[in-house]
Amino acid sequence: MKKSIKTLLLAALAAAALSGCSSKAAPEKSSSNDSTAYTVGIGQFAEHGSLDNCREGFLQGLSEEGIVEGKNLTVLYENAQADGGTASQIINNFLSKKADLICGIATPMAQAAYSGAKKTDVPVIFTAVTDPVAAALAKEDGTPVGEITGTSDKLPVEKQLEMIRKILPDAKTIGILYSTSEVNSEAAIKEYKAAAASYGFEIVEGAVSATADIPLATDSILEKVDCLNNLTDNTVVSSLPLILDKAGKKNIPVFGSEVEQVKIGCLASMGLDYVDLGKQTGIMAAKVLKGEAKASDMNFEVIKEAAFYGNAKVAENLGISLPSELTGSAAEVFTDITH
């Protein structure tokens, strides 16, 4: 009888041990995300204001959804300094550090992120991608090509051309500098050329393959145009202060594509708020991180509203009056030039 009781006790202890091991091997997921920690890799293609604003907004969007850096979020941030090879290395680094999600800021970085992550289970969220379809990051109907989605900073081309015509009623030619390595710029150029004639403009292109080409390309295009119109081309934007300096010496206006470009010396823009764009992206990323949606289930999103930004100081320097119909409804009119 004693032996039988001892055997039963041993069997009970073994069952309890097995039960404990089983619960550790397959923990039940908590319905709360409070204890979950995330690691997000943020790759930014170049160093300039609009992309910095995207990054800031992205973190704000995550924070609004309860994913806060220093609390339950570890951020891996690297900047490619407008170099495609470096962009790929950055993505590989994020993957080696087991990032739960990668955010690619600007088209070349988004392309590098998807190329590097598509054979893994790491989702990619992009922002500041002008044309996700042309960049092969989305299908024609807007659906994702894989575990990737995000936000587009598609330029309001028609509104921009209308604005330029109101400010420069006698202008005939608009110069656009762009990098041949950025599909986002080629897509924008195509759209500008298709719409320009309706506003009485001719588009003059100035193609560059590297930052080193910009000084000579700027000198050349300024001899042929009445004004310049800057895109969101990362290579060109990185050299915008130089372009503004050269254009200013010839009294030629330069129009921007977003608020940061107007702050530093472009005359005006019908542009986007890149902090808002980044915030929208962060909210999308939070859904993926929390398991509320898969990136492959969400079409990319576009901010369709554009606002007028003007720089009164630049207008004064150029001897140009900004029309009251634009300034009256402006998101902001700056009275100085920041550097």
Q: Are residues 203 and 326 in the same domain?
A: yes
* Residue 312 and residue 230 share a domain: yes
- Residue located via tokens 């009056």: 321
Q: What is the pLDDT of residue 306?
A: 87
Q: Which residues contact 27 (CB under 8 A, 6 or more apart)?
A: none
- Global pTM reads 0.79
**Angle formed at CA 54 by CA 237 and CA 49, multiple of 5 degrees:** 35
CB atoms within 10 A of CB 48: 21
Rounded to 5 degrees, φ, ψ at 77 are -120, 130
Same domain, 129 and 186: no
> Are residues 262 and 135 part of one domain?
no
Please say whether the beta carbons of 56 and 275 come within 8 A: yes
In a domain, 9, yes or no: no
Same domain, 98 and 172: no
Q: What pLDDT, on the 0 to 100 scale, is given for residue 7?
A: 41
* CB count in 10 Å sphere of residue 296: 14
Asked if 101 and 125 count as a contact pair (C-beta separation under 8 A), the reply is yes
Please state, in angstroms and rounded to a whole number, the distance separating the CA atoms of residues 289 and 284: 9
Asked whether residue 14 is domain-assigned, the answer is: no
CA 181 – CA 242 distance, rounded (Å): 20
Whether residue 252 sits in one domain with residue 220: yes
- Residue 7 in any domain: the answer is no
Query: Are 212 and 330 in the same domain?
Result: yes
Name the one residue in this structure whose structure tokens are 């690619």.
104
Claim to verify: residue 118 and residue 61 sit in the same structural domain: yes
Largest CA distance in the chain: 110
Helix, strand, coil: what percent of the chain each, to 5?
45, 20, 35
Nearest one of 217, 220, 194 to 207, comparing CA atoms: 217
**Is 254 contained in some domain?**
yes
Distance between CA atoms of 144 and 139, rounded to whole angstroms?
A: 6
What are the pLDDT tens digits along the chain (339 aa)? 434 434 433 444 344 333 343 333 333 333 334 569 999 999 999 988 889 999 999 999 999 999 999 999 999 999 999 899 999 999 999 999 999 999 999 999 999 999 999 999 999 999 999 899 999 999 999 999 999 999 999 889 999 999 999 999 999 999 999 999 888 898 899 999 999 999 999 999 999 999 999 999 999 999 999 999 999 888 999 899 999 999 999 999 999 998 899 999 999 999 888 999 999 999 999 999 999 999 999 999 998 778 999 999 999 999 999 999 999 999 999 999 986
Q: Do residues 141 and 85 share a domain?
A: yes
The alpha helices in the chain, defined as continuous H runs, are 2-25, 49-64, 84-96, 107-117, 157-167, 183-196, 214-222, 234-237, 240-249, 259-263, 274-289, 312-318, 324-327
User: Residue 93: which CATH number?
Assistant: 3.40.50.2300
- Work out how many domains the chain is built from and give that number: 2
Closest by CA to 149, choosing from 285, 283, 291, 300, is 300
What letter represents residue 270's amino acid?
M
Flag whether 339 is in a domain.
Answer: no
**What is the domain extent for residue 87?**
38-153+274-302
Is 89 inside a domain boundary?
A: yes
Query: Comparing C-alpha atoms, which of 78, 105, 102 is closest to residue 277?
Result: 105
Do 56 and 201 sit in the same domain of this protein? no
Residues 82 and 69 in one domain: yes
Judge whether 6 lies within some domain. no
For the chain, the residue count is 339
Q: Is 179 helix (H, G, I), strand (E, B) or coil?
A: strand
Instruction: Work out the angle at residue 21's Cα, subtended by the Cα atoms of residues 20 and 27, and round it to the nearest 5 degrees.
Output: 85
* Domain contains 145: yes
Sign of CA dihedral 294, 295, 299, 305: positive
Query: Burial code of 180-196, b = ≥16 C-beta within 10 A, e = fewer?
Result: ebbbbbbbbbeebeebb
In this structure, are 145 and 165 located in the same domain? no
